[in-house]
Structure 1
């Protein structure tokens, strides 16, 4: 009889996901593992059942949880971190960087939005051997602006 828990505990699922990611990247004429990733967070509105897991995000004026994701440049999910919405995006960067390096190996560059600015997030990522590049909005922004590299993670949230 199939016992999924035993496969998960043995690391078989992680190995299969890693192999599938490598096959998909090689099929698109890329290296087997990504050398660049995209970071982003999104606040999800809470429900009554959320209870203490939910926090209030004053900037977005929502009560809920914040989902932080790291994707490869082809849009493959590499790491995810869920926290109450009242915690800073910047505080999640170090944990995401550790998860990515564990899952993929040597990633060199991480692209992020302006929510990840500052010396502390840059240092947290650098401690894991990754350079953080913040993609900024143009000065004269009107309406929706497609930012380089960032559209991959926005598409995943959509």
Structure 2
């Protein structure tokens, strides 16, 4: 297939994700969910359209006309999110990246951090809050990654939600979904009670604090990994703000960005930046 835009999947990247999407479509047909529907759109062009929105940050209604109609693209995006396709792709690709780098499929340690972000005008006020420390009105993205920088979990909340509250949800999820994890690192925004909660789950939590005497930027042990991941995610303009009306759609956008990064990592394709654009 001819690539129209830089965000489109190369043949090598499509080969990595095609089996999951093909199995998803076959499973739906097996349940009779597509009977009586119009002819199916090509899965690759649909995913290309979703990645285009994720990478460029445009509204869904502004999709170029050589993609399928935007309501169709968004409907597939929503269905993939609801039926766990993005979660499945992230798990599969993460294991492949770890295997490629000579590591076990499942991690033994992780890092947790959060990022407060402003929201667009279409986000309901009930789903927003104020991060008093950062003086940001919007939402908070809490992520947990392995030591390679790959996503293990994400939770989007109002910015007013404390790091320790979101962190407890994430550490519970890690304990349930990744039982091999025995150690995690967090910053000073996470409270001692979370350390104690993690201990009850068999996870040793370390709080990495910044030296108050240090001025300017400094690399913190272990913490730099999650900061690097957040920086790479922010190369996707859809994440420059939170444009999604529903938090679970925001989480799907983060999963999509990580899918983009991991497929490029597996195929040795560089990730273009916006510098000089």
**Structure-1-length-normalised TM-score:** 0.86
Do the aligned partners of 1:18 and 1:104 also contact (CA within 8 Å) in 2? Answer: no
Contact 2:80 2:86 in 1 (8 A): no
**Alignment equivalent of 1:69, drawn from 143, 157, 166:** 143
Q: Distance in 2 between matches of 1:25 and 1:112?
A: 22
Aligned counterparts, 1:40-79, within 5 A = 40-50=113-123, 51-79=125-153
Q: 1:138 to 1:58 in 2, by over 3 A?
A: same
Instruction: Say how many residue pairs are matched.
Output: 156
SS at match of 2:115: strand
Q: Which has the larger radius of gyration?
A: 2
1:100 to partner: Cα distance: 1.8
Query: How far off its partner does 1:16 sit?
Result: 4.8
Deviant stretches of 4+, over 6 Å: none
- For 2:99 and 2:164, the matched residues in 1 are separated by 32
For structure 1, which runs of at least 5 residues remain unmatched after alignment?
A: none
Structure 1 residue 152: Cα displacement: 1.3
- Quote the RMSD (CA, aligned, Å): 2.3
Greater strand fraction, Structure 1 or Structure 2: 1
Aligned to 2:98: 25
**Unmatched segments (≥5 aa) in structure 2:** 1-21, 29-75, 232-277
Q: Is 1:80 paired with 2:154?
A: yes
Return the offset for 1:68: 0.4
User: Counterpart of 1:103?
Assistant: 177
1:39 pairs, out of 112, 115, 136, with: 112
Secondary structure at the aligned position of 1:140 is classed as coil
Residue of structure 2 in register with 1:147 after alignment = 220
Q: Partners of 1:7 and 1:88 in 2: how far apart?
A: 26
Whole-angstrom distance in 1 between the partners of 2:89 and 2:207:
32
**Aligned residue for 2:191?**
117
The structure where helix makes up a greater share of residues is: 2
**Deviations along 1:68-122, whole A, 9 cap, x unmatched?**
000011011011011111111111122101222333332101101111132x111
